[in-house]
Amino acid sequence: MTLPSGIFQGSFKQDMAVFRTKTQWLMLLALFVFIFTMPLYASDKTLTTLTIIGITIISVLGLNILTGYCGQISMGHAGFMAVGGYAAAVLMARLHMPFLVALPAAGLAAGIVGIIFGLPSLKIKGFYLIMTTVAAQFIVLWIIIQMRSVTGGADGLAVPKPEIFGLVIGSKASYFILVMIIACLATYLAKNIVRTRVGRAFIAIRDNDLAAEVMGVNLLYYKLTAFFIGCVYAGVAGALMVNYINYANVEQFPFINSVWYLGMLIVGGMGSTVGVIFGVIAIQLLQQLATTAGPILAAVMVPQAAASLALIANGLVIIIFLIFEPRGLAHRWEMIKAYYRRWPFSQ
Amino acid sequence: MSKIKLLTILSLVIILSLSILTACGTKTTTTVAPTATTIAAQTMYIGGTFAITGAYAEDTTAVLNGFLDYAKYVNDNHIIAPWYTDRTLDKNVTVQVLWGDDQLAPDKALTIYDDLKSKGLLTERVSSTAEGLALKEKMNADRIGATSQSTSPAYLSPPETIFTNAPIYTDSLAGAADWFISNWKDTTRKPRVAYLSADMASGRSIDIPEMQAYLEKAGFEFAGKQFVPLVPTTPPTTQLSWLKDNKVDLAIGFMVNGGSQPTIKEAVRLGMGTDQPYKITFAFANPAHLQIFVPAMGTIGNGVVVTGDFVAWESNVAGVQFANALNSKYRAGNPVTNIMYLDGIIEAMTQVEAQRLAMAQTGKTVSQLKPVDVLEYGFYQIKNFSDGDITISPLSYGPVLVCGVSTVRIQQVQNGKIVEVGSAPLHNIYKHE
């Protein structure tokens, strides 16, 4: 097995490559084979769970760029998803635009709204910025409800099944494939954005914005760029969500989701692309476990015993991670990799 | 390395193409015809998604208990209700409840739905509007009929496969308006009406032009609207003061008890109510059950109206007697007192009846039934179905008939007691696009 341990890199390009050895490429190939052949053997429930995981990964990748890399804590991410979701819904249902136009437009709409709500970030940060993003969540949902003639108001809006080049993405399997392709592209982009000049500026701002400014980093530009990119991701995720459900409703984007997205970042590890994937999978699977355990617990005790089980489990996991592993699952993963690379000398 | 990359990319393209083709293709299923006619034990599944986490937790847990106890009753007696002794299930059929806690989250409802469907659930239930809307298209694609405790106007838009046992919120509140205007004595001015509703999808679902037009046509002057959180964290003083400042006579809206109780307490503190210095009537749609409201509020709640609800628990109708019997038999010493226990019994009974009708009409056993059989030969065929007078009228469903009842029950708190003050016809106010 040739994993990057003691491998001599002959150029900067080789040294910076995400996948540096044949083994890594083959492992990536195996992962893709595993993911994209899943509709052949996975159940509907598994496909639904994985589709939702895929959509959530896209959303949390955006939050990771904004919060994990740029340090701008947002608790209105579900609101930005709502912007994308409704933009796609209105474009597809009212204006009969194709899915391939609605999807990027949804991302763009959410990105622009993100810039508007990101404007105060130059003047305020920390707790105060959190409050403005919380406000964003509620303002966005309020506007959606008020625009009944366009958005359907509180009743929501039915969204037609997406079509790509005449191919209706109607089955669970086909939608799963679509979401996974977009999730892979989103992960690839996120991984590379943070390796660019822009990404390094984000990290500089996160670590010390005053020092970054002194070094010539344009705070307003980069903070708004972070908001834009993070919200584009949220918008795309929102559009995918409403297309999956074939219905857009404000209650698909509750405030509590914004909180859980931050929780997923904490569990996975802030400022790590692979951490996002770990965090989302961990919390979503925990939710599924709680949902499955609920009726079992209720059968041996009383139904009330199962109430709020998932919320309690999620909360506990986040507390445990904050105390015992604040750097998240990504840090654990790095330790495992380091152990493997140094084996048999790792201690 | 470049060869490896090329190989990887080529392999990916092939895998993607194959998987997309597989995913988009129609799956062929082989159906094995039953060859034996032996009477084997069979299970009839009922249930669906229940929000036992969140604002509806208390109500929905009572609904779940209703389902569980009703299943035990059918398994013990093999009839669907004491007043339907001729509607029987074979003794080899066991009713089992399948459920999951959707936490009032649409994405949770999706995975629970798939899970329960794979376990053989031929019917569904949805806990609230958001989950209903999330599942609506999926259920239509699978031709699965569902029962629900929520009565969102959105259920009236096609496909109409979610069946309720209470009036749609807009019709429910129009009933309150009808009743109020019929009792209005002042000939010098029109009564002023405003919305005082929960700030969420169900609460805002009444805020539609058709509703306002109906109120104005009925003789009201529309004053405006105020929204309060589903469960207020602070007393809604501002909203109530607004009603007072705008001389509102009737405030109507959607609320659960978590919202209606603190709202009315604050209203009384501000001197607002039917027997307070500022005369105003508060009317809420079905989920603000007086059966929960009155024991907690007593005479403080005097004058509050709730429309579209079940019969009072104290009444002696067959349905309530049945519920009491289930409570005594299966919950001795720990009875369920929440009124939504009755909803659980009705929903469970409706799901069993739909499957029983489908079996009778298609000649299939329960294990041979498909969801579409239960929808078309079951739910759609339920006509004048008695729930023991728990609802104001027998339930009837059909392809464009999702609201089972035909009239709106109007109840009011008088001297700390629930009094039935009348009924109103359904106006079918909500017009879907």
Intra-chain end-to-end CA distance of chain A, in Å: 20
Residue A100's pLDDT band (boundaries 50, 70, 90)? Answer: very high
Residue showing tokens 């590890």: A269
Q: Say if A251 falls within a structural domain.
A: yes
The predicted structure's pLDDT at residue B21: 47
CA dihedral in degrees (B145, B149, B152, B158; nearest 10)?
10
pLDDT in tens, A303-313: 777 777 777 88
Q: Which domains are present in chain B? A: 42-166+313-402 (3.40.50.2300), 169-307+409-425 (3.40.50.2300)
Mean pLDDT of chain A, nearest integer: 89
Q: Say if A158 falls within a structural domain.
A: yes
Å between B134 CA and nearest CA of chain A:
6
Give the residue-averaged pLDDT of A291-302. 78
Separation CA B254–CA B268 (nearest Å): 19
Q: Would the pLDDT of A229 be above 90?
A: yes
The predicted structure's pLDDT at residue B54: 78
Q: What is the DSSP letter of B139?
A: H
- Compare CB distances from B205 to A47, A154, A173 and report the shortest one's residue: A154
Separation CA B210–CA B204 (nearest Å): 13
Q: Say if A252 falls within a structural domain.
A: yes
Give the residue-averaged pLDDT of A263-282. 93
Q: B335 — contact with chain A (CB < 8 Å)?
A: no
The predicted structure's pLDDT at residue B195: 96
Q: What H or E segment, with its residue span, contains residue B423?
A: strand B417-425
Residue B70 identity (one-letter amino acid): Y
Q: Say if A91 falls within a structural domain.
A: yes
Please report residues of A whose CB lies closer than 8 A to that of B204. Answer: 145, 153-154
Domain coverage including residue A72: 44-280
Q: Give the residue on B whose Cα is nearest the Cα of A55.
A: B107
pLDDT (tens digit, 0 to 9) for every residue of chain B, 433 residues total? 455 565 555 565 555 555 554 454 444 333 444 444 456 889 999 999 988 887 778 888 999 999 999 999 999 999 999 999 999 999 999 999 999 888 888 888 898 999 999 999 999 998 877 788 888 888 888 999 999 877 777 777 767 788 999 888 899 999 999 999 999 999 999 999 999 999 887 888 888 889 999 999 999 999 999 999 888 888 999 999 999 999 999 999 999 888 999 999 999 999 999 999 999 999 999 888 898 899 999 999 999 999 999 998 888 899 999 999 999 999 888 899 888 999 999 999 999 999 999 999 999 999 999 999 999 999 999 999 999 999 999 999 998 888 889 899 999 999 999 999 999 998 888 765 5
CA angle B251, B252, B253 (to 5 degrees): 130
Separation CA A121–CA A228 (nearest Å): 12
For this complex, say whether ipTM is above 0.90. no
Q: B103 — contact with chain A (CB < 8 Å)?
A: yes
Q: In this complex, do A291 and B101 lie within 8 Å of one another by their Cβ atoms? A: yes
Nearest in space to B340 (alpha carbons), one of B395, B300, B405, B390: B390
DSSP for A44-80, written as a single string:
HHHHHHHHHHHHHHHHHHHHIIIIIIT----S-HHHH
Residue A152's pLDDT band (boundaries 50, 70, 90)? Answer: confident
The predicted structure's pLDDT at residue B35: 46
The predicted structure's pLDDT at residue B18: 52
Q: Say if A32 falls within a structural domain.
A: no
Q: In this complex, do B4 and A37 lie within 8 Å of one another by their Cβ atoms? A: no
Q: In this complex, do B154 and A156 lie within 8 Å of one another by their Cβ atoms? A: yes
Q: Give the residue on B whose Cα is nearest the Cα of A173.
A: B23
Number of domains in chain A: 1
Interface test with A, best of B14, B99, B133, B211 (most A CBs within 10 A): B133
- Write the CA distances from B426 to A339, B218, B258, B409, integer angstroms: 71, 14, 27, 10
Residue A166's pLDDT band (boundaries 50, 70, 90)? Answer: confident
Q: In this complex, do B61 and A303 lie within 8 Å of one another by their Cβ atoms? A: yes
Of chain A residues 173-232, which have a CB less than 8 A from chain B?
Answer: 173-174, 176-177, 181
Is B45 or A20 the better-scoring residue by pLDDT? B45
The predicted structure's pLDDT at residue B24: 47
Q: Say if A239 falls within a structural domain.
A: yes
Give the residue-averaged pLDDT of A207-226. 92
pLDDT in tens, B325-384: 999 999 888 899 888 999 999 999 999 999 999 999 999 999 999 999 999 999 999 999
Q: A241 — contact with chain B (CB < 8 Å)?
A: yes
The predicted structure's pLDDT at residue B8: 56
Q: Say if A268 falls within a structural domain.
A: yes
Q: Dihedral sign for Cα B215, B218, B220, B221, please.
A: positive
Give the residue-averaged pLDDT of A120-124. 85
Å between B226 CA and nearest CA of chain A:
13
Q: Give the residue on A whose Cα is nearest the Cα of B11.
A: A29
The predicted structure's pLDDT at residue B32: 41
Q: What is the pTM of this model?
A: 0.82
Determine if the peptide bond prior to B82 is cis (ω within 30°).
no
The predicted structure's pLDDT at residue B433: 54
The predicted structure's pLDDT at residue B25: 44
Separation CA A65–CA A63 (nearest Å): 5
Q: Say if A206 falls within a structural domain.
A: yes
Q: In this complex, do A252 and B130 lie within 8 Å of one another by their Cβ atoms? A: yes
Q: In this complex, do B23 and A309 lie within 8 Å of one another by their Cβ atoms? A: no
For the ranges A58-67, A171-180, A215-224, B103-112, which has the lowest average pLDDT?
B103-112
Q: In this complex, do B201 and A154 lie within 8 Å of one another by their Cβ atoms? A: yes
